[in-house]
Chains A and B, each alone.
Chain A
Amino acid sequence: MSWHRLVAMARKEVLQIIRDPRSVGIVVAMPVIMMLAFGYGVSLDIKHIPVYVLDREGSWQSQDLLKRFQASEYFNVVRTVDNYPALVRAIDEGHCRFAIVVPWDFSRRLNAGGPVSVQALIDAADSNTANLAIAYSQAVVQAYSQKVQLDWLRRRGQSSVRAPISIDARTWFNENLESMDNIVPGVIAIVMAVIGTFLTALTIAREWERGTMEQLISTPVTALEIMLGKLAPYFVIGLLDTCLCALLGIWWFGVPFRGHWSVFFLSSTLFLLVVLSTGYFFSVVAKSQLAASQISLLATFLPAFLLSGFVYPIDQMPAAIQVVTHVLPARYYMAIIRNVFLKGSAITLLWKDLFSLALFAVILVLLATRAFKKKLT
């Protein structure tokens, strides 16, 4: 291994990156755009569902119930209408997803202590939102009816009555149950998987496509020197991009960072080795920039998005799929980086994921080293 050749190789690669506006775009713009797009786009929270109401009674009690809907952050009462067809039309036209109809005898039946129903109309085209809306509305109504019950009992002189059981939830790690806090660290993993692979996927294929490979391999430079010389600049860029994403997460999205930077850098380094080697391997195999970039998108983005636990929790997947996720390095990085941001567990508790990531890094680096041969066709 010659230091001289390694440095010359890396310097040449840097010059080419700087000269190529596309790679500057990938390096700088792509992480920022992906962070913003995913950070805002993949929010799993459902809040401020637009609601129409039809209050057929208009008593203080019916208004009291509706105020509770308004007060909930999950609902947003956008309009009150005075006839049923208007409600149906609003749902048809998509102005609201949820409509509440209070019957004309609401307060009378309530005061009589009898059961009273409030009708809810739900646009269930998006079943996930519909389910959540039903659950949220039940919670609102339950809380209200409990209050009515207690008031009724108190009026009868039973002043010490309390609700029998209640859950006193104390949420950890993501205290406000913000799905963004969970999403953003995950996005960092996705961004790194895509960019890391993409960056190196072009590097060898470009030399073949432009015909510069023939001259390069006629020199005494070794395959290992070519690989290390090419990966080194991208490794530095990759680490800078990871930091950029992390800072965006912390400062822009307000995600906490509870772990230690050393864990963050160790796991990011390992993951970068994984993705850079993968991209390099694709580049060697594909020999064309288009094919290499397409393979790398397919092979990294989709699995990282669907199977790493980013959107769907791995323990909720079918058993067979769960097994498949084990050969996905992104899965381990995803787990570590979420932990680093939200939990901040000691490194000793993360050793399993770190070890798996390191194992993949070793395997893929070796694979990349072996893949490239200094021969034509």
Chain B
Amino acid sequence: MTSDAPAVMVKDLVKRFGDFVAVDHVSLEARRGEIFGFLGPNGAGKSTTIRMLCGLLRPTSGQAMVAGLDVALKPEAVRQKIGYMSQKFSLYNDLRVMENIRFFAGMYSVPDSVLPERIDWVLEMAGLKGRESALTGTLATGWKQRLALGCAVLHRPPILFLDEPTSGVDPISRRQFWELIHQMAGEGVTVFVTTHYMDEAEYCHRLVLIDRGRIVASGSPLELKQQAMKGELLLVECEPVGTALELLQTAPEVLDAAIFGSALHLVVPQARSAIAGLRGYLAERGITVARIEPIRPTLEDVFVSLTSNKLEERSTP
């Protein structure tokens, strides 16, 4: 693999399960050393895509190149160059921490000469020093996730696939986890990560938004925020919110309206000029407006405006 070749290149990837199209002509490219975020609601086709990239599922059509190799033709060679962490914890709960590490070191044929050093590195990274002989099943979720990451990188793969690595993990463990990811990316590892946490998406170098199997937007977090919104954003704090939302969805000049926490976010063509009109519109209809002002969009705004279904789990950044 030459240094400028993309770490992951996907062309027109399709996966059908019967009549259901899980992944619909997805094309993307992830560069070396990039943290590539794959964003979308549950059931959007993120896991299906990542599984095809790891050679765990056969694509219906299309091509996937990982580390310069065609996954369909050379699955085992690809697997030696990648680390994979599945959405559901899938190390052996009935093995001890060290036994899991040794097992996966064996699966990746880590040479005996570097094994002690790698094991040490993984234990250090996962914060599991001193718990080598704990049964894996007894560890807390955050530790388990870091151990799973450790077992996936024992062979120092240039590409890492992480499928919702932080789901169900407490905020502190999540931050620690992302620090690890950044550290690895800094060392030149390409990290391909799926998530539905918007704050996590902000950590990525580049993002692809996927909804119902189709890519709806891509770019850096900043680019997405600037380009993907069809207008400018207004924050409205008012009472009662529910009625206001219904009214605003049909109000003139409002392109989109959605609830964010206790306030409303409106997409309008021009924020400054719309404020006065909207204030009057709401007041006429008996809504008390506490605050109305232009704001910079977050990824969540982008996401909501681009995807048809709402996120199941939402996190406020």
Contact = CB atoms under 8 A, between A and B. Distances in A.
A and B associate in one complex: yes
Contact of B94 (A8, A20, A376): A20
Interface size on A, as a range, is 20 to 34
Interface string A247-270: 000000000000000000000000
Nearest to A20: B94
Interface in A1-33: 2, 4-5, 7-9, 11-12, 15-16, 19-20
A15 B102 CA distance: 12
B46 to A, nearest CB: 15
A19 B55 CA distance: 31
Nearest to B106: A8
A148 interface: no
Interface string A340-377: 00000000000000000000000000000000001111
A318 interface: no
Interface in B201-245: none
Contacts of A16: 92, 94-95
Interface stretch (A217-225, A234-242, A298-306): A217-225
Interface string B46-61: 0000010011111000
Contact of A2 (B85, B105, B109): B109
A220 B76 contact: yes
A216 B92 CA distance: 10
Contacts of B51: 376
A212 B103 contact: no
Q: Is the interface of A mostly helix, strand, loop or mixed?
A: helix
Given A12-B99, A221-B107, A222-B76, A212 B54 contact: no
Q: How large is the interface on B (under 10, 10 to 19, 20 to 34, 35 or more residues)?
A: 20 to 34
A211 interface: yes
Contacts of A45: none
B307 interface: no
B57 A216 contact: no
A222 B108 CA distance: 11
B90 A220 contact: no
A8 B57 contact: no
Contacts of B57: 375-377
A375 B75 CA distance: 11
Contact of A219 (B77, B93, B99, B104): B104
A218 B109 contact: no
A214 B56 contact: yes
Contacts of A5: 106-107, 109
A316 interface: no
A211 B107 contact: no
A221 B103 CA distance: 11
A217 to B, nearest CB: 6
A233 to B, nearest CB: 14
A266 B51 CA distance: 44
A52 B175 CA distance: 88
A215 interface: yes
Nearest to B99: A15
6 contacts: A15-B94, A20-B94, A215-B85, A218-B54, A375-B56, A376-B57
Interface of A: 2, 4-5, 7-9, 11-12, 15-16, 19-20, 210-222, 374-377
Interface of B: 51, 54-58, 75-77, 79-80, 82, 84-86, 88-95, 99, 102-109, 148, 151
Given A210-B92, A216-B90, A222-B76, 18 more contacts: A2-B109, A4-B106, A7-B106, A12-B95, A16-B94, A211-B86, A211-B88, A212-B91, A212-B92, A215-B84, A215-B151, A217-B56, A218-B55, A218-B84, A219-B107, A220-B77, A220-B107, A221-B107
